[in-house]
Structure 1
Amino acid sequence: MTNAKLGESLRLLGVGEAAVRVYLALLEVAPAPLDAVGAATGLRGAELAAAYAELADAGLAGAVDEDAEVVAPVPPAAGLEILTRHRAAELEESRLAIGGAFESFRRRRLAAYDDHLVEVVTGDAVGPRMRHAWASAREQIRQFESPPYFPNPGATDDALATLARGVTQRVIYSRESLEYPGHLKDAVEPAVEAGEQARVLPSVPVKLVIIDEAYALVSLSIHEADVHNTMLVVQPCGLLSALVALFEQSWRNALPFHGPDTRPGGLPPADRRLLRLLAGGAGDDVVARELGISRRTLFRRLQILMARLGAANRFQLALQAQRSGWL
């Protein structure tokens, strides 16, 4: 190996320039007094002593026998191991420092950008923001709907006004929505009768409203919505695209609740409500409570409907009701 390549190798291991010159001289003149080594390198005094001490500390040079004045290179195995580990530690420290610096940069410089993509709305500001969302819709609203509900007395009127303007409204209701006291009669059915396209799932992952392709309103989770009364406003970005895809996949899997071509066929409103509750998975007690009837009366109405559609059980009843346009 040439002196140039050897010197570069030592430098890569963290050996200083002066110490490299001393080590190369040792390979040429040692064993020799340190002053002779210094003469070969052009170093002397404190500078020479410091360079040699660096080599000795690294395990690359040492005194010959008991003569402290005569020095020479020593077998490098242990010294090179020490230098290698020390250099690796320095490189890891540098890697962490650079990574930390970039992360700090990202938080500082990208935070302002991110703030424009996701906005947090809390407390009393939630209701007005939701009303503004309905009013701003131009083509389509997609919604996951489930309790708990924000205090917003005008929500049903906003939905009806939006439908009246010709905005398509597709809503996936959770079973809890249909079981929530009075919600089916006072909120869901008026919107469905006004043209809302509704489907039902046993549960929905989040409370979500997507306005056109412009932005989405989403709670952190169903349970957190009840505790924190907090909503996120998501502007166009990868997250909004993911929410749209989540809705469309859920829509394909949901059970139709009421389509635009439904023909009730003279079915009384109470019986339509009964079928919708059953289709949504509501239990007998919930259905009876929502209809304001006893379980005995409920069973009698079910028997009448099953006989009218030629259904032998509740599954056939739901199937025949769907085919007849009653759901």
Structure 2
Amino acid sequence: MATGEVGEALRRLGISAAAIRLYLALLERAPVRLPELGAVTALTGAELAAAYAELVEAGLGSVAADGRETVAPLPPAAGLQLLGRRRAAELDASCITVAGAFDAFRRRRSGAFKNDLVEVATGEEIGPRLRQAWASACGQIRQLDSPPYFPIPTATDEALATLARGVTQRVVYSRESLEFPGNLIRSIEPCIAAGEQARVVSSVPVKLIIIDDACALVSLSIQEVDVHHTLLIVQPCGLFSALAALFEQTWHSALPLHASRTPSLRGPAGPPQRPLPADRRLLALLAGGVPDQDIARELGISRRTLFRRVELLMARLGATTRFQLALQAQRRGWL
């Protein structure tokens, strides 16, 4: 391995430049007397003693009782573990220090302006702030989803990557989310198949993303124009708690939405014959309140065929209305 790579690795572990130079020479010449090592590295006196003492403390060099003793490198496993733990503790302490400094700033600003709990992002600031917040999630993301959408071409890939690293995603989609051209196939169904927990309602009260218990992002986009004006970033406070409660209330009142490719049934109440994937998708669209013409277009069938399939499903489940159809399908695990 190149000495430059070893030196850089030691630097990242917190070893000083003089100690690194000494250690690299030690690897090449050991066993060797310490004064001879100092001559090779141009280290003398107190500087040499301090650099080698640093290696001994890190578990990388043998103890030298005096300057005449021969020294050698030690197996680094134990020393590297110690250095790694020490470095991690230093990074944690640094994070706490920076966070504490920001909290102090926020308290001062709060006392002066009373507005630091809600940050406003506009225009081109919105995309980076959305990506930054999404990437920071550690435990769960809760979302109320509806058009219009801010143009982020990598949004689906980022959502799939977040799911892959174990972050729980619970999303309530509006009917308009399912109707939005291509959104169901390109974005919603891949995320559900990857583990996203999804539900659907006719409309959501607000466009909302909640990242862990850290912040809530509220979109103030206007439906009638293709402009994305403002994003509010809400820190933990009374408003944040109200937004979290709003999400949970909407979640509990929404109908489950599953990927059409999922063939399994849940619960013992299903009929002997399992529904076809196309029927499951049809039921999911109906439950979301998607208009008939949009369902027919999504499924690639005529409206007449759509009506005939809905009538067959209603007869099969003993439903007299479409609401009863969605309810029965949910109870049997078809949604």
**TM-score > 0.5, shorter chain as reference:** yes
Any idea what SS the aligned residue of 1:198 has?
strand
Q: Distance in 2 between matches of 1:109 and 1:224?
A: 36
Asked if 1:294 corresponds to 2:302, the answer is yes
Asked if 1:233 corresponds to 2:233, the answer is yes
Instruction: Read off the aligned partner of 1:167 and give its amino acid letter.
Output: V
Q: Distance in 1 between matches of 2:138 and 2:244?
A: 17
CA shift, 1:323, in A, is 2.2
Q: Which of the two has greater helix per residue?
A: 1
Q: Deviations for 1:109-130, whole angstroms, at most 9, x for unmatched residues? A: 7486545322111222212221
CA shift, 1:170, in A, is 1.0
Any idea what SS the aligned residue of 2:116 has?
helix
Q: Deviations for 1:138-190, whole angstroms, at most 9, x for unmatched residues? A: 11111110011100111111111111112111111111111112211221111
What TM-score do you get using the length of structure 1 for normalisation? 0.60
RMSD of equivalent CA atoms: 2.6
What is residue 315 of structure 1 aligned with on the other side?
Answer: 323
Q: Distance in 1 between matches of 2:191 and 2:109?
A: 45
Q: Distance in 1 between matches of 2:243 and 2:132?
A: 20
Unaligned regions of 5+ residues in structure 1, if any? 1-107
Any idea what SS the aligned residue of 1:144 has?
strand
Q: Distance in 2 between matches of 1:272 and 1:253?
A: 20
CA shift, 1:312, in A, is 4.8
CA shift, 1:244, in A, is 0.8
The 3 A distance-change label for structure 1 pair 162 and 243 is same
CA shift, 1:211, in A, is 0.2
CA shift, 1:228, in A, is 4.2
**Count of paired positions:** 218
Equivalent residues of 1:199, 1:251 under 8 A apart? yes
Q: Deviations for 1:219-262, whole angstroms, at most 9, x for unmatched residues? A: 13654885443111111122111111111122222222249xx7
Higher Cα Rg: structure 1 or 2?
Answer: 1
Equivalent residues of 2:221, 2:229 under 8 A apart? no
CA shift, 1:309, in A, is 3.9
What TM-score do you get using the length of structure 2 for normalisation? 0.58
What is residue 165 of structure 1 aligned with on the other side?
Answer: 165
What is residue 92 of structure 2 aligned with on the other side?
Answer: none
1:72-91 aligned within 5 A: none
Any idea what SS the aligned residue of 1:116 has?
coil
Equivalent residues of 2:222, 2:228 under 8 A apart? no
Q: Distance in 2 between matches of 1:109 and 1:157?
A: 37
Unaligned regions of 5+ residues in structure 2, if any? 1-107, 266-273
Q: Distance in 1 between matches of 2:143 and 2:212?
A: 11
Asked if 1:211 corresponds to 2:211, the answer is yes
Any idea what SS the aligned residue of 1:270 has?
helix
Q: Distance in 2 between matches of 1:275 and 1:282?
A: 10
Any idea what SS the aligned residue of 1:166 has?
coil
Any idea what SS the aligned residue of 2:152 has?
coil
